[in-house]
Amino acid sequence: MALAPTAARPRLLRAFAGQPLTPPPIWLMRQAGRYLPEYRAIRAKAGSFLDLCYAPELAAEVTLQPIRRYGLDAAILFSDILVVPHALGQTVEFVEGEGPRLEPVRSERDLFRLNTEATRPKFARVFETVAKVRRELSPDTALIGFCGAPWTVATYMVGGQSSADQAEARAWAYRDPGGFARLIELLVDVSVEYLSGQVAAGADVLQIFDSWAGSLADDQFERWVVAPTRAMAGRLKERHPHVPIIGFPRGAGVQTPGYAAKTGVDGVGCDTALPLGFITRELSGRVVVQGNLDPLLLVAGGEAMARRVAEILTALSGKPFIFNLGHGIVPQTPPENVAQLVELVRR
Amino acid sequence: MALAPTAARPRLLRAFAGQPLTPPPIWLMRQAGRYLPEYRAIRAKAGSFLDLCYAPELAAEVTLQPIRRYGLDAAILFSDILVVPHALGQTVEFVEGEGPRLEPVRSERDLFRLNTEATRPKFARVFETVAKVRRELSPDTALIGFCGAPWTVATYMVGGQSSADQAEARAWAYRDPGGFARLIELLVDVSVEYLSGQVAAGADVLQIFDSWAGSLADDQFERWVVAPTRAMAGRLKERHPHVPIIGFPRGAGVQTPGYAAKTGVDGVGCDTALPLGFITRELSGRVVVQGNLDPLLLVAGGEAMARRVAEILTALSGKPFIFNLGHGIVPQTPPENVAQLVELVRR
């Protein structure tokens, strides 16, 4: 089932060999998605959103769409971070226009409802998607596998939905740190298996999305963001020493350099709010920097976008750097602005 | 209508004279609110939430409730940052359990619907509340007046509701910076009048809440957070040179020291995610630091809260410091935990 690594080396991987590339490689978070009419066409015939995530033929097609349109340097597996809790047996639904709804896990006792063995058949379908995509991609395009970080996935599992302050998970972590740690450990274990399977199926790079890393006090950040990510990175490196890992601790701000140093990730995704001066001073040259154009500038396009792209390139291109957004593409993005962005970066 | 300043000096003000106090003064964001049964009793008879904000007798009573219970070092006017757009003539409603709903302002043309003159009778009622509270407070308790920062108020005015990413306001700012600047300038003007009126009525300290400062790229942060706050602080200092101003740029992270240096505020509210080491290194001694206990620890209480309170006191007490939370008290907070917190800080 696993594919042999391709002989030619995707350009994106050269950034992880310590080379600043001109122009930098580019891919965009949520590059496969609702802003593309060809995505919406597939989505319409796929049943539910999760059905699409588990349908190798369709998910592979959706993964490849932005590569065909824009010739980006990497494809990222089309999936969702909530595939992991769903595969574990938690009830997960995506309510149109409202986001995910999960039957919450609120205490250590609820963890008995989760079943690691049950993940196998569901993960297998994701791995099939990965293998399909890798077969169809050209050798110079990287394929990025991903999962949510344990903390971020836990915020959804505990809260039952997206929330501005992740209060439910944070409250459990304070009330019963031992019980909450059990959930986090379970997620570390299952996420390592999940990412490892993606590598075996053909993923060249891995990204760990910690979208809600920004709400935690420093001690909680160390315990629930840094430590689990370090554990994952360590175990993945043992199995796949040559597969780069990008961590994306969104909103980590001041704590981002510490996260980079302590977790052992190879690259760090920088959100839009991280100032360019800070990235240059504290991150560039220590890890591969990835980011950080505001997705809303990709909606606005034109001169404003061009000016900021130039600023980012000037600030970050001297060291290993991957051009990306600071957060995912939003649905109202005009597809032609994405084409313009790629041209600006490659000019 | 304006009260003469009280002869005795509230203890909180001594922090702004550059004195580290032991124990530090303490007040808590959203200390008047739903977690208190006596608040809920008043709220039940007040009609709408905005009716309560505009009812001097009731709003003063609610402002004073936590002072009576806990003897905090400051009362903060009970009000809402959306009083300003409401007073300007924008439709503002508070939907129970859902938060505010505004008829959005989306372009420069919509600004003609807003009327600065119309604010007078509504602001007068708030000033009456301030005067009432100041009369009833003991001279050693400070009274804090406040408003929302122009950027944060604009995110609600443009978005029509609370949102995780403030996309509507950020998109307008990119699409039409000149038009958006008109809205921000209008808010600077009216907010300066509003705060100045609160001082005339008896407020000893002012706080500017920039709750959504954390979503902006560095250039946008300078333009929409730093510059308007600097303009407000400058104009307020001309009129009231001895009234300290606290800025609270929630989520500003890395940019907080720059905000402190450039805006000219006297104190900076630090949210929960700002690490203690960073606050000590970059802010303590340059401005009065205020913060930053996680409001969810106040829900958990007990040993976990006691441990963290001790860490905060150890880290921040050596320089001028005001104990507070990193964000507002949440409704599920047990009132007895607040009493315990005050005791821990004053022990």
**A323 in helix, strand or coil?**
strand
Residues 69-128 of B with CB under 8 A from A: none
Place of tokens 């007895």: B336
Beta bridge partners of B324: B292
Domain-located, residue A5:
no
Residue B215 with chain A: CB contacts under 8 Å: 272-273
**Edge-to-edge strand list for the sheet holding A142-148:** A74-76, A142-148, A205-210, A245-249, A267-270, A288-293, A321-325
Each residue's pLDDT tens digit, A217-267: 999 999 999 999 999 999 999 999 999 999 999 999 999 999 999 999 999
Query: According to the 3-state scheme, what is the secondary structure of B190-222?
Result: HHHHHHHHHHHHCCCEEEEEECCHHHCCHHHHH
CA atoms within 13 A on the CB side of A206: 29
Per the structure, the complete domain to which residue A248 belongs is given by 11-346
CB contact under 8 A, B304 and A253: no
- H-helix segments, chain A: 11-16, 37-44, 49-53, 56-70, 83-87, 119-136, 150-159, 167-175, 177-201, 218-221, 227-239, 256-263, 276-282, 295-300, 302-316, 335-346
Beta carbons of B214 and A304 less than 8 Å apart: no
- In-domain check, residue B161: yes
| Interchain contact, A272 vs B217, CB within 8 Å | yes
pTM, two decimals, is 0.95
- Answer yes or no: are the C-beta atoms of B266 and B228 closer than 8 Å: no
Dihedral angle at the C-alpha atoms of A128, A131, A135, A139, nearest 10 degrees?
160
How far is Cα B200 from Cα A313, in angstroms, rounded to an integer?
50
B212 token code pair: 């959504």
Residue A6: per-residue pLDDT: 44
| Mean pLDDT of the region A141-158 | 98
Q: How far is CA B314 from CA A52, A266, B269, B290, B304, in A?
A: 52, 35, 18, 14, 16
- Find the CB nearest A275 among B254, B274, B296: B254
CATH of the domain at A279: 3.20.20.210
Give A51's contacts (C-beta < 8 A, 6+ positions apart): none
pLDDT at site A5: 47
User: Quick check: is B182 catalytic?
Assistant: no
Domain membership of residue A3 (yes or no) is no
Q: At what angle do helices B335-346 and B302-316 cross, to 10 degrees?
A: 40
For residue A342, the model assigns a pLDDT of: 98
Strand bridging mode B142-148 / B205-210:
parallel
Can you give the pLDDT at residue A4?
Answer: 42
User: Which of helix, strand or coil describes residue A26?
Assistant: strand
Catalytic residue among A11, A39, A43, A230: A43
ipTM: 0.93
| Cβ–Cβ contact A297 with B under 8 A | yes
Q: Which of B294, B283, B274 is nearest to B318 (CA)?
A: B283
Assess A44–B contact: CB distance below 8 Å, yes or no.
Answer: no
Helical pair B150-159 and B177-201, crossing angle rounded to 10 deg: 120
A34 is catalytic: yes
Give the SS3 label for residue B22: coil
- pLDDT attached to residue B5: 47
Q: What pLDDT, on the 0 to 100 scale, is given for residue A20?
A: 87
Determine the 3-state secondary structure of B268 from DSSP: strand
CB-neighbour burial class of residue A49 (10 A; exposed 0-12, middle 13-18, buried 19+)? middle
Which residues of A are less than 8 Å from B277 in CB distance?
218
In a domain, residue A2? The reply is: no
Instruction: Give the tens place of pLDDT for each residue, A161-172.
Output: 988 789 999 999
Smallest CA–CA distance, residue B121 to chain A, in Å, is 35
Verify whether residue A189 is a known catalytic residue. Answer: no
In the predicted model, what is the mean pLDDT of chain A?
95
Tens-binned pLDDT, residue by residue, of chain B (347 aa): 344 444 468 999 999 998 889 999 999 999 999 999 999 999 998 889 999 999 999 999 999 999 999 999 999 999 999 999 999 999 999 988 788 999 999 999 999 999 999 999 999 999 999 999 999 999 999 999 999 999 999 999 999 998 878 999 999 999 999 999 999 999 999 999 999 999 999 999 999 999 999 989 999 999 999 999 999 999 999 999 999 999 999 999 999 999 999 999 999 999 999 999 999 999 999 999 999 999 999 999 999 999 999 999 999 998 999 999 999 999 999 999 999 999 999 99
> Residue A42 domain-assigned?
yes
Give the closest of A174, A276, A296 to B304, CB-based: A174
User: Any idea which residue has 């689990």 for tokens?
Assistant: A228
Dihedral class, residue A204 (left if φ above 0, else alpha if ψ from -120 to 50, else beta): alpha
Beta-carbon neighbour count of residue B95 at 10 Å? Answer: 10
Interchain proximity A251–B214, CB inside 8 Å: yes
Asked if residue B25 belongs to a domain, the reply is: no
Q: At what angle do helices B56-70 and B335-346 cross, to 10 degrees?
A: 60
Rounded to an integer, the average pLDDT of A276-285 is 97
Total domain count for chain B? 1
* B316: chain A residues, CB-CB within 8 Å: none
C-beta atoms of B214 and A326 within 8 A: no
Does any domain span residue A184? Answer: yes
B315 in a structural domain: no
CB contact under 8 A, A174 and B297: yes
Long-range CB contacts (within 8 A, 24+) of A97-104: A99/A161, A99/A162, A100/A156, A100/A161, A100/A162, A101/A160, A101/A161, A102/A156, A102/A157, A102/A159, A102/A160, A102/A161, A103/A160, A104/A157, A104/A158, A104/A159, A104/A160, A104/A168
Q: Do A171 and B299 touch (CB under 8 A)?
A: yes
Q: Which residue has the higher pLDDT, A212 or A5?
A: A212
Tell me which residue has tokens 């919406």.
A40
